[in-house]
Homo-oligomer: A and B are copies of this chain.
Amino acid sequence: MQRTRLIQAFRNFLPAESVLAATEDLRPYECDALSAYRQLPMIVVLPQTEAEIAEILRICHAEQVPVVARGAGTGLSGGAQPHAEGVLVSLAKLNRILEIDPLACSARVQPGVRNLAISEAAEVYGLYYAPDPSSQIACTIGGNVAENSGGVHCLKYGLTVHNILKLRVLTIEGACLEIGGDALDSPGYDLLALLTGSEGMLGIVTEITVKLLPKPETAKLVMAMFDDIKKAGEAVANVIRAGIIPAGMEMMDKITIHAVEDFIHAGYDKDAAAILLCESDGLEEEVADEIRQIQAILTASGAVRVDTSRNEHERQRFWAGRKAAFPAAGRISPDYYCMDGTIPRKHLAQVLQQIEQLSVEYGLRCMNVFHAGDGNLHPLILYDANQPGELQKAEDFGARILEICIAAGGTLTGEHGVGIEKLNQMCLQFSDAERELFHALKSAFDPSMLLNPGKAVPTLHRCAEFGAMHVHRGTEKFPEIPRF
């Protein structure tokens, strides 16, 4: 029997506690943070070295068994969901920081290192790693690479792909590739971005060289209250139009403000229809200058109140509400479903209005808290899984939001990935030719389709079915999506 043979093969070079096969041992791996989808893997292995991973891959390749890699399991799109007949490779034990080079401003780390641990280790050199997903205490850099994670500060500092230099990657055959380099450019095809955000479909990353940045001398945060969310959306556009790229620019709507203020007491004005948080970081003089400009633009854009943090404590307090938005949602609703779509900034007000209409249509509340500067929405759909049909309604509502984002010229993910959650919407986002090319690229890396099968790129068959399903709702394909 294949399962027994595999367990035996893995135990030949891994300690017994690193090869899990009993149901109770597999349970912790059955889902990532998108907990609505659950699946036990056949076997879980916990290698500690690149050589061990290579051997695992060679065995799985020889046996033609699917392989799913897993970081900390904090993903929100089901990218790390196990395969029922597959091996789940946890990278948790590859958790060493191998080297910090303060001259090159880089760190070489293993995939299981936590995001925040890199900045903590680099602090002694006055350096840090910029991308800061909300889960940065827990999530690992390997998972960040797989999902191309962002964070509050990615408006100014970019996503994971903009902050890594080099990867060591194992192919499904167990061969090692070195991708990227220390120089700005490298010859041959640029595979660094292709691998980043590829959701474990092309290879398993065993080592990452990340860029480190000098810690900014200072940071200040402007908090602006608006009596109309459209004015707040316009204010975002006005700041960018003035040539300012804030370190972060976050927006919260009324329902979010109430939820977090009752919870955290960050000092948000509960009469506001929207709050905009706008951060500047850098040298003292530069920040002072930029903050003055931001204050003037927000006031001219119709903010009813503009407060600026007077010290680090106050800056942290202003941020505290925003950072507590997800747990605050958990306080006012039994369940919530976090979406992740991105739209051109200019359509912000219009898309928020459409979400509002859908909220009425589905009879579900929706908190809007998002990275306004880069147009990355995170609508939190509030529902109660114990009410029959509400989960389905929440999922439908979420899918409609993604379709609105696509119709607005945006994309169906800002930083959470496609995983299993957004497969259908990939049919809308890309043409047949584009999806066929994706499959051809996947084949170039993994001809037998063993790495994380069924994720990220839908089959042509699935898209045909999804199209047919949509036709039933109207007279032609996707007619319900208003085009801008």
Of B189, B237, B282, which one neighbours A438 at CB under 8 angstroms?
A: B189
CB distance from A302 to the nearest CB of B (A): 18
Chain B residues contacting A39 (CB-CB under 8 Å) are none
Task: State A178–B431 Cα separation when bound (angstroms).
Answer: 9
Of B183, B190, B241, B418, which one neighbours A410 at CB under 8 angstroms?
A: B183
Copies of this chain: 2
Task: State A94–B447 Cα separation when bound (angstroms).
Answer: 38
Task: State A161–B287 Cα separation when bound (angstroms).
Answer: 29
Name A435-457 residues within 8 Å CB distance of B: 435, 437-438, 440-441, 443-445, 456-457
- A residues adjacent to B (C-beta < 8 A): 102-105, 126, 148, 150, 154-155, 158-159, 161-162, 171, 175-178, 181-194, 196-198, 202, 214, 237, 240-241, 243, 282-283, 285-286, 289, 342-346, 374-376, 409-415, 417-418, 422, 426, 429-431, 433-435, 437-438, 440-441, 443-445, 456-457
14 A-B pairs besides A185-B415, A283-B289 with CB distance below 8 A are A159-B185, A171-B437, A175-B433, A183-B342, A183-B410, A187-B411, A190-B197, A192-B193, A193-B194, A285-B285, A440-B443, A440-B445, A441-B441, A443-B444
Would you mind naming 30 contact pairs between A and B with Cβ atoms under 8 Å apart? Answer: A103-B345, A150-B184, A158-B184, A159-B185, A162-B162, A171-B433, A171-B437, A176-B433, A177-B431, A177-B433, A177-B437, A182-B409, A182-B410, A183-B342, A183-B374, A183-B375, A183-B410, A185-B413, A185-B414, A187-B418, A187-B422, A187-B426, A188-B434, A188-B457, A189-B198, A189-B202, A190-B194, A190-B196, A194-B194, A441-B441
Which 3 A-B pairs give the minimum distances between C-beta atoms? A214-B243, A193-B193, A440-B444
